[in-house]
A and B are shown apart, each in its own frame.
Chain A
Amino acid sequence: MKIKNYQDFYAGMMFLIFGTLAAWLSTSYNMGTGARMGPGYFPFYLGVILAVLGVIILVMALGVNDGKEHPVSLKPLVVFIAMMVFSLLAGLVGASPNASLAIGTIAGCVLSFFIGMPAMGLILLSVTLFGLMLKGLGLVICVTGLVIISSLASHERRRNEIIASVVILCATAVGVFVYGIKLQMPVWPDTQELGRMFVPAEKRK
């Protein structure tokens, strides 16, 4: 059997995997009966329907070629799986949920470089670092980092423009969000917070 439409083929596979996963995870919750549904009931059947839809899409993708191009790329899927796997591994060796997810996303971003999606890697890495460090390093340093790293993703970056962007955006962020609508965010680095980020909770006392 030859695959005629790779986009649909992989989409079908994605639905099949997500559906099976959801149905399988739901079986660990109480199913209940139709009249008194348990927490597992609705997601189980949704998962089953999704998996069936996935199979239908898969099979249809094997059918007649419609003569159109369907450009497909598995790279984002690979990155997503990598993020999940690394997060799980980190969780298994005892990292906190937040730290596990951070390790997973960073690993996925790094992987993006090696499989030819540098723009996605840089942009998502800049966002990840921003989220992780904001409490410790403060808005100014984080915005600077975000702008510099994400700007590198563009093919036509120019140094002076990046410098100007950094200055303007730092001023905007502090002016609008901290002084304007008064969001609770540190502007400058906070050494106590930084210490807390790298020392596990149980050793702090």
Chain B
Amino acid sequence: MDAFNTLIANLSLGFATAFTLQNLIYCFVGCLLGTLIGVLPGIGPIATIAMLLPATYALPPVAALIMLAGIYYGAQYGGSTTAILVNLPGESSSVVTMLDGYQMARKGRAGAALSVAALGSFLAGCFGTLILAAFAAPLAELAFKFGPAEYFSLMVLGLIGAVVLASGSLIKAIGMIILGLLLGLVGTDVNTGVSRFAFGIPELSDGIGFISVAMGVFGFAEIISNVDMKGTRETFTNKVEGLILSWKDFKEALPAIIRGTGIGSLLGILPGGGALLAAFASYTIEKKIGKNPQPPFGQGNIRGVAGPESANNAGAQTSFIPLLTLGIPPNAVMALMVGAMTIHNIQPGPQVMTSNPALFWGMIASMWIGNLMLVILNLPLIGMWVQLLKVPYRILYPAILMFCCIGVYSVNNNSFDVLITVLFGVLGMMFLRFGCEAAPLLLGFILGPMMEENLRRAMLLSRGDPSVFLTRPLSLTMLLMALAMIVIISLPAISKKREATFVEE
């Protein structure tokens, strides 16, 4: 009962922080902007956050983080709208929504698909927020027991988890992580003051800006390959009607929403988990449950939208847990959040909760408010998003480009960052052509300096004995888990199945 009372006390502090007029407005603006950019085809949450991050620099830390969280949910919800109406995923996690969502839209049930997506996201978001609030404190307690060796092993586990659970070639993804770690080391070494890989360029002594990396590899490369692609896309242009769900639809969707929420919350906490995996897992389960679904999956079954949409939102919510309690970003979106927090001089980790409780609980409360706003915002505004989707890409991309450019430039007010971003744009194109996924690179990029720091400290404490990672039980457990993941995924039977899951669906 005591824990429950603390939880209530914490949450009320959070709501008191989030419910100021100013923060509500930022939350609203974040959701609106996030949806606005996220709804654009081919732009996922990573690119959206990178693009809008500069807009939050001038805000106080609490407001900035609240707005960023809003942008994240908005972007994710916008991505589902695009998936349902245009059959073009804005991000990988809406690929699943597309399967049945677009079919529903073609059968004239776009309204029902959008509503169930909104409802599922909202319910999942509420639950995810509660989980986050409940688990944050105990996990942060645990985090205080972590030494540098544990942190290092945890990061190894997180990085391995991120590639094992992602699609595509495992070994290439590990390569991308290491490349990211190396890029993260560019600049002045904090321990010795030596400038590394900077070639005597003063602008590089602070390292490569993570906005440049994210914007170049995700933003520019995406835009270029979209423009290069010929052919037209089929846009759903009819008026969206029937937003109110029928009782029958609701009855069918609710169990799927509950299952999706459960799976999503669980998978979101795992290192490397998050929205994408949650959506895939939920879709697979929905397909297995119940015989002879009407209509069949892939042809517009409402459960195929409700489950994955709830799962990806719950996963998005709970993936904040490792970030806020351990200070370790579990996926590329959270890696961007670390960057954003650092800009506001907040070192993510267990100490945030004790040193800055208003910020911590305010952010959690604002997540719930953000979810509520998305429902209020998106269903009535759906007509506006449809209009936006009708704007041809040739008109949209120069506008997107402009926001990117101003965003990158305004970070340091210099042209050097813009030029570096151009370089990363070319690199991003190269990765695309070589079939290398870029998300692990970004995760490695953020974790690089943290990993080196913890490795250094752990080795210093053990006087250079590397067995410290194996003799400390927590550290050993995490390394064994990482090893187990690699072994399991490399088994021929599983790797074939894994490939099939990502290809067929």
Q: Which of A36, A127, A150 contacts B460 (CB 8 A)?
A: A36
Beyond A46-B178, A143-B402, whether A29 also contacts B196 by CB under 8 A is yes
Where chain B touches its partner, the secondary structure class is helix
Give the residues in chain B near A185, CB-CB below 8 Å. Answer: 406, 409-410, 413
Give the residues in chain B near A146, CB-CB below 8 Å. Answer: 398, 401-402, 405
In this assembly, does A57 line the interface, its C-beta being within 8 Å of a C-beta of chain B?
Answer: yes
Within 8 A of A (CB), among B183-198: 185, 189, 191-192, 194, 196-197
- Over the window 98-123 of chain A, the binary record of Cβ atoms lying under 8 Å from chain B Cβ atoms (1 yes, 0 no) is 10011001001000000001011001
In this assembly, does B169 line the interface, its C-beta being within 8 Å of a C-beta of chain A?
Answer: yes
In this assembly, does A169 line the interface, its C-beta being within 8 Å of a C-beta of chain B?
Answer: yes
Q: Which of A46, A57, A123 contacts B181 (CB 8 A)?
A: A46
Q: Which of B181, B220, B402, B434 contacts A124 (CB 8 A)?
A: B220
Q: Which of A57, A102, A183 contacts B415 (CB 8 A)?
A: A102
Interface residues on B, range: 35 or more
Q: Are B394 and A181 in contact (CB under 8 A)?
A: no
Give the residues in chain B near A154, CB-CB below 8 Å. Answer: 227, 393-394, 397
In this assembly, does B324 line the interface, its C-beta being within 8 Å of a C-beta of chain A?
Answer: no
Query: In the complex, what residue of chain B is closest to A47 when comparing beta carbons?
Result: B182
Give, as a whole number of angstroms, the nearest-CB distance from B503 to chain A.
10
Give the residues in chain B near A191, CB-CB below 8 Å. Answer: none
Q: Are A56 and B171 in contact (CB under 8 A)?
A: yes
Q: Which of B227, B408, B416 contacts A153 (CB 8 A)?
A: B227
Give the residues in chain A near B423, CB-CB below 8 Å. Answer: 80, 83, 101, 105
Give the residues in chain B near A53, CB-CB below 8 Å. Answer: 171, 174-175, 178
Give the docked Cα–Cα distance between A135 and B416 (Å): 12
In this assembly, does B435 line the interface, its C-beta being within 8 Å of a C-beta of chain A?
Answer: yes
Q: Are A50 and B182 in contact (CB under 8 A)?
A: yes
Beyond A15-B179, A37-B456, A46-B181, whether A135 also contacts B415 by CB under 8 A is yes
Give the docked Cα–Cα distance between A102 and B56 (Å): 28
In this assembly, does B244 line the interface, its C-beta being within 8 Å of a C-beta of chain A?
Answer: no
Query: In the complex, what residue of chain A is closest to B418 when comparing beta carbons?
Result: A131
Interface residues on A, range: 35 or more
Give the docked Cα–Cα distance between A54 and B417 (Å): 29
Give the residues in chain B near A73, CB-CB below 8 Å. Answer: 433
Q: Are B203 and A97 in contact (CB under 8 A)?
A: yes
Query: In the complex, what residue of chain A is closest to B457 when comparing beta carbons?
Result: A37
Give the docked Cα–Cα distance between A70 and B452 (Å): 36
Q: Are B192 and A39 in contact (CB under 8 A)?
A: yes
- Over the window 229-269 of chain B, the binary record of Cβ atoms lying under 8 Å from chain A Cβ atoms (1 yes, 0 no) is 01000000000000000000000000000000000000000
Q: Are B399 and A165 in contact (CB under 8 A)?
A: yes
Give the docked Cα–Cα distance between A143 and B398 (Å): 9
9-residue interface stretch from B278-286, B424-432, B470-478 = B424-432
Q: Are A130 and B418 in contact (CB under 8 A)?
A: yes
Give the residues in chain A near B204, CB-CB below 8 Å. Answer: 97
In this assembly, does A3 line the interface, its C-beta being within 8 Å of a C-beta of chain B?
Answer: no
Give, as a whole number of angstroms, the nearest-CB distance from A171 to chain B.
12
Within 8 A of B (CB), among A160-175: 161, 165, 169, 173
Within 8 A of B (CB), among A87-104: 91, 97-98, 101-102
In this assembly, does A205 line the interface, its C-beta being within 8 Å of a C-beta of chain B?
Answer: no
In this assembly, does B466 line the interface, its C-beta being within 8 Å of a C-beta of chain A?
Answer: yes
Beyond A42-B452, A165-B398, whether A127 also contacts B203 by CB under 8 A is no
Give the residues in chain B near A158, CB-CB below 8 Å. Answer: 394
Q: Are B185 and A124 in contact (CB under 8 A)?
A: no
Give, as a whole number of angstroms, the nearest-CB distance from A128 to chain B.
5
In this assembly, does A184 line the interface, its C-beta being within 8 Å of a C-beta of chain B?
Answer: yes
In this assembly, does A63 line the interface, its C-beta being within 8 Å of a C-beta of chain B?
Answer: no
Give the residues in chain B near A134, CB-CB below 8 Å. Answer: 409, 415
Give the residues in chain B near A75, CB-CB below 8 Å. Answer: 433
Give, as a whole number of angstroms, the nearest-CB distance from A123 to chain B.
6
Give the residues in chain A near B192, CB-CB below 8 Å. Answer: 30, 38-39
Q: Are B179 and A120 in contact (CB under 8 A)?
A: no
Query: In the complex, what residue of chain A is closest to B429 when comparing beta carbons?
Result: A76
In this assembly, does B55 line the interface, its C-beta being within 8 Å of a C-beta of chain A?
Answer: yes
Q: Are B435 and A150 in contact (CB under 8 A)?
A: no
In this assembly, does B277 line the interface, its C-beta being within 8 Å of a C-beta of chain A?
Answer: no
Q: Which of B169, B401, B416, B426 contacts A108 (CB 8 A)?
A: B426
In this assembly, does A35 line the interface, its C-beta being within 8 Å of a C-beta of chain B?
Answer: yes
Give the docked Cα–Cα distance between A93 and B491 (Å): 54
Q: Are A169 and B394 in contact (CB under 8 A)?
A: no
Within 8 A of B (CB), among A39-78: 39, 42-43, 46-47, 49-50, 53-54, 56-57, 60, 70-77
Give the residues in chain A near B463, CB-CB below 8 Å. Answer: 35
Q: Are B202 and A97 in contact (CB under 8 A)?
A: yes
Give the residues in chain B near A18, CB-CB below 8 Å. Answer: 179, 182
Q: Are A156 and B175 in contact (CB under 8 A)?
A: no
In this assembly, does A204 line the interface, its C-beta being within 8 Å of a C-beta of chain B?
Answer: no
Q: Are A119 and B419 in contact (CB under 8 A)?
A: no
Q: Are A25 and B197 in contact (CB under 8 A)?
A: yes
In this assembly, does B438 line the interface, its C-beta being within 8 Å of a C-beta of chain A?
Answer: no
Give the residues in chain B near A97, CB-CB below 8 Å. Answer: 199-204, 416
Contact surface of B with A, Cβ cutoff 8 Å: 55, 58, 169, 171-172, 174-175, 178-179, 181-182, 185, 189, 191-192, 194, 196-197, 199-204, 220, 223-224, 227-228, 230, 392-395, 397-399, 401-402, 404-406, 408-410, 413-423, 425-427, 429-430, 432-436, 451-452, 455-456, 459-460, 462-466
| Sampled A-B contacts (23; CB under 8 Å) | A11-B436, A35-B460, A39-B192, A50-B175, A50-B178, A73-B433, A74-B433, A76-B426, A76-B430, A76-B432, A83-B426, A97-B204, A101-B420, A108-B426, A127-B220, A127-B421, A128-B418, A132-B415, A153-B224, A165-B399, A173-B406, A183-B410, A185-B409
